[in-house]
């Protein structure tokens, strides 16, 4: 399509040949050569980038109905002496502690435990390495990977190393319940779109996008999400995940890498949760529902914003941790975004599980 100014110039061209008085007007409107010159004429502007075409084929939409940590399996006592203590526990023992959540580096909790035991998880190898704390690779923060449920090594999930000995983060505990409710009541609605599907059983090329939504999905009287509702994506494009290229093998979609950002509004916490260099694994079940996992990296700063700054002392009391102990653990267990100048990492590998029902996604 012809640029607007060029169309105006051509409209004036017959008159310019006859009426010298209009030359000044044409000059103001930008007529003439589009190349730079010694007179200071503006250089031509590059054409606007063409948006990537939408994939052809069927689009499958889902709304997440269940969400939480992907829990590893362990043998024996992985938190010797029990779970971590929170401020309420210290008060009960006659050793009250100051509120350390806004200045976690100002104090130190020598009693805080991290989960250092070996374990198995239905996880994902994000960095392509089998990491061992005793022999870290070059440009790697020392840590121990998990093993897979069916064998193999190299599965990354350092967030659980930091949080795994906190009572309130265990299966069925308060954190599990609160997060699970938030994806169903509209506080943290999450949508998944699989584009370009030619065959739900096997497809060598699909794309996956993850969106946040401010709308609550429709639910039955017993709280179960109803399938095939229509939900709009978040109006703010920051909450539109980038496209994750992938494929389908035996009804399992694996796609990535991509970046996702969600908005969580959970009781005392209102903050963003983002994953970068993330992957989605999604199994399409025969009844049309889905289940799967998200894997990626979240910054230490963002994770502490949720647990320390937003949840604060109330969250520490409810779940059972000290902010100073947690902050130190998040930094010690970080395994992503290695900085060669400091030899430290600033993000943690994370893993979340989900279930989802089919939905129509409006964009």
Q: Which residues 6+ apart lie within 8 Å of 317 measured at CB?
A: 86, 87, 88
Mark whether 37 and 62 lie in a shared domain: no
Mark whether 10 and 156 lie in a shared domain: no
Query: What are the helix and strand counts (H, E) for the chain?
Result: 8, 13
Mark whether 74 and 202 lie in a shared domain: yes
Neighbours of 211 (CB within 10 A): 24
Walk along the chain (363 residues) and give the pLDDT tens digit of each residue: 444 443 333 333 344 344 344 334 434 344 344 444 444 444 455 555 555 567 789 999 999 999 999 999 998 889 988 999 999 999 999 999 999 999 999 999 999 999 999 999 999 999 999 999 999 999 999 999 999 998 899 999 999 999 999 999 999 999 888 888 899 999 999 999 999 999 999 999 999 999 999 999 999 999 899 999 999 999 999 999 999 999 999 999 999 999 999 988 887 899 999 999 999 999 999 999 999 999 999 999 999 999 999 999 999 999 999 999 999 999 999 999 999 999 999 999 999 999 999 999 999
Mark whether 196 and 277 lie in a shared domain: yes
**What is the phi/psi pair of residue 88, to 5°?**
-65, -35
**Does residue 49 lie within any of the structural domains?**
no
- Domain tally, the chain: 2
- Tokens read off for 296: 């990626």
Mark whether 8 and 106 lie in a shared domain: no
| Domain around 271 | 58-362
List, in sequence order, every residue forming a beta bridge with 197; answer none if it has no partner: 58
Burial label, 43 (beta-carbon count in 10 A; 0-12, 13-18, 19+): exposed
| pTM of the model as a whole | 0.84
**Does residue 109 lie within any of the structural domains?**
yes
**Does residue 20 lie within any of the structural domains?**
yes
Mark whether 71 and 183 lie in a shared domain: yes
Mark whether 38 and 135 lie in a shared domain: no
**Does residue 346 lie within any of the structural domains?**
yes
**Does residue 52 lie within any of the structural domains?**
no
Mark whether 100 and 165 lie in a shared domain: yes
């Amino acid at each position: 399509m012809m640029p607007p100014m060029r169309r105006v110039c051509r409209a004036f061209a017959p008159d310019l040949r006859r009426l010298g008085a209009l030359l000044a007007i044409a000059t103001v409107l930008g007529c003439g050569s589009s190349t730079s010159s010694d007179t200071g004429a503006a250089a031509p502007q590059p054409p606007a980038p063409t948006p990537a075409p939408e994939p052809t084929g069927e689009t499958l939409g889902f709304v997440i109905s269940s969400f939480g940590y992907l829990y590893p399996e362990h043998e024996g006592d992985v938190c010797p002496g029990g779970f971590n203590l929170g401020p309420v526990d210290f008060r009960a023992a006659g050793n009250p502690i100051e509120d350390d959540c806004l200045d976690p580096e100002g104090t130190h909790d020598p009693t805080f435990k991290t989960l250092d035991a070996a374990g198995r998880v239905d996880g994902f190898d994000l960095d392509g390495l089998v990491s061992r704390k005793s022999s870290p690779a070059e440009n790697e923060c020392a840590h121990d990977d998990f093993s897979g449920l069916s064998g193999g090594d190299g599965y990354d999930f350092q967030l659980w190393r930091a949080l795994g000995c906190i009572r309130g983060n265990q299966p069925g505990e308060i954190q599990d319940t609160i997060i699970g409710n938030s994806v169903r009541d509209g506080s943290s609605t999450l949508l998944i779109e699989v584009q370009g599907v030619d065959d739900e059983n096997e497809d060598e090329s699909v794309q996956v996008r993850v969106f946040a939504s401010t709308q609550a999905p429709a639910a039955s009287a017993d709280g179960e999400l109803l399938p095939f509702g229509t939900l709009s994506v978040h109006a703010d494009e920051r909450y539109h995940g980038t496209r994750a290229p992938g494929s389908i093998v035996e009804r399992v979609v694996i796609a990535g890498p991509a970046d996702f950002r969600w908005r969580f509004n959970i009781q005392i916490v209102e903050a963003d949760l983002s994953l970068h260099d993330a992957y989605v694994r999604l199994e399409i079940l025969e009844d049309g529902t889905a289940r799967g996992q998200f894997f990626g990296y979240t910054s230490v700063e963002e994770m502490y914003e949720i647990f320390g700054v937003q949840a604060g002392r109330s969250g520490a009391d409810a779940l059972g941790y000290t902010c100073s102990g947690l902050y130190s653990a998040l930094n010690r267990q970080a395994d992503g975004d290695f900085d060669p100048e400091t030899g430290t990492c600033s993000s943690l590998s994370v893993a979340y599980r989900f279930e989802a029902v089919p939905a129509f996604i409006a964009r």
